[in-house]
Structure 1
Amino acid sequence: MRPLRYAINVTLDGCVHHEAGVAPDEELMRFWTEQMTQSDAELYGRVTFEMMREAWRRPDDGVWPDWMETWEHDFADTLDRAKKYVVSSTLDEVDWNAELVRGDLGEAVRALKEQPGKGLSVGGLALSSALTDLGLIDEFLFVVHPIVAGHGPYLLEGLRERVNLELVERREFGSGATLMRYTPRP
């Protein structure tokens, strides 16, 4: 069974909004690129999928935009090529190497996990909370940035039940950000 990993950048006060100042530097971008290569596919909700596609899809002319640093190209290339699953009840179709996931969320994700492979990676907010509530996330990977945002949205906001976790890895980056990898405790 493929493990499902929830991976996200977060501030010290739990904010996970992409505009909270948690943009990765070169070292973290290499880390996130490596993480993607350890999964067979990315699993997104509609909002995260559209945000990631807007930022990281290769333009039709094949040239990355001027705003993108050269050291971001490997991440962009890796994500652009990655298989993606999109959980949405409002989209009729998706592009960008993506496939829609419909029906019962638990059943659909269990079926994806049962396929052979290295693993699946989920990002974003609402979908990750729903999958945590369903007990389907096998690993939580948080890169905690030394920033206090003072506003949300917040990490795993609205969970129905408390989730006990065990720390299995901790790593510090040059920026002061800290990777904390957890697995659910039985």
Structure 2
Amino acid sequence: MLSYAINVTLDGCCHHEAGLAPDAESMRFWTARIERARALLYGRVTYEMMESAWRRPADGRWPAWMDAEDIAFAEAIDRAPKHVVSRTLTSVAWNAELLADGPAGWSGSDEAADLGAAVRRLIEQTPGDVLLGGVALPDALADLGLIDEYVFVVHPVIAGHGPTLLAGLRERIRLDLIERIDFRSGATALRYRPA
């Protein structure tokens, strides 16, 4: 199953600098999602952002700014198998492998079919959930009908700018709510499946 999971503001912004500071409760939520997943799937931008923030430092010690919830998340994501879709990277590290080329030219091209085939193979070969993150790659995979589940942690913030969630979809996708978790911070985790 391919599960797309992301933090988002009330106005749909999904940029990590839009005031989406996670609290201890949401960090525990994300840690549990990462631990349940059998693989992570990212585009280049998300992969590089996550690696720079959460890869274990060479000396093995986590930075002083991390609290217990940050460290638990960092350890979970650090050891998780990762797959990266990129046109520009020729190699990846951090327990990762390149999956397919992307992101330009997906819509309506042979490249979209190639991307779809590569992701389908990954899903079929992974015994359990593949957790998808990012912005551009999920647009393409949603257009291909490959996302089985959407998980949004909606934060009580209005960003007013920045990239928005699934802004490149060609057609709307109707969803059924299957779970809701309210956090004390005012954030809400919403889990949907396509209707």
TM-score normalised according to structure 2 size? 0.92
CA 1:34–1:43 in 2, change beyond 3 Å: closer, same or farther?
same
Aligned 8 A contact 1:57 1:76 in 2 = yes
Of 14, 39, 47 in structure 2, the residue corresponding to residue 41 of structure 1 is 39
- The corresponding residue for 1:12 is 10
Identity %: 62
SS at match of 2:119: helix
Of 164, 167, 190 in structure 2, the residue corresponding to residue 180 of structure 1 is 190
Residue pairs, 1:132-147, within 5 angstroms: 132-147=142-157
SS at match of 2:25: helix
SS at match of 1:113: helix
Matched pairs, number:
183
Aligned 8 A contact 1:80 1:96 in 2 = yes
When structure 1 is superposed on structure 2, of 112-121 and 56-65 the one drifting more is 112-121
Structure 1 unmatched ranges of 5 or more = none
Distance in 2, Cα, partners of 1:69 & 1:86: 28
- The corresponding residue for 1:66 is 64
- The corresponding residue for 1:79 is 77
1:102 is displaced (CA, Å) by: 1.9
- The corresponding residue for 2:104 is none
Of 98, 116, 127 in structure 1, the residue corresponding to residue 96 of structure 2 is 98
1:178 is displaced (CA, Å) by: 0.6
Of 105, 113, 116 in structure 1, the residue corresponding to residue 123 of structure 2 is 113
RMSD across aligned C-alpha pairs, in angstroms?
Answer: 0.9
TM-score normalised according to structure 1 size? 0.96
Distance in 1, Cα, partners of 2:32 & 2:54: 16
Aligned 8 A contact 1:14 1:152 in 2 = no
Structure 2 unmatched ranges of 5 or more = 102-113
- The corresponding residue for 1:130 is 140
CA 1:71–1:116 in 2, change beyond 3 Å: closer, same or farther?
closer
1:10-49 Cα deviation digits (max 9, x unpaired) = 0000000000111211111111000111110100000000
Distance in 2, Cα, partners of 1:55 & 1:116: 26
Distance in 2, Cα, partners of 1:102 & 1:164: 28
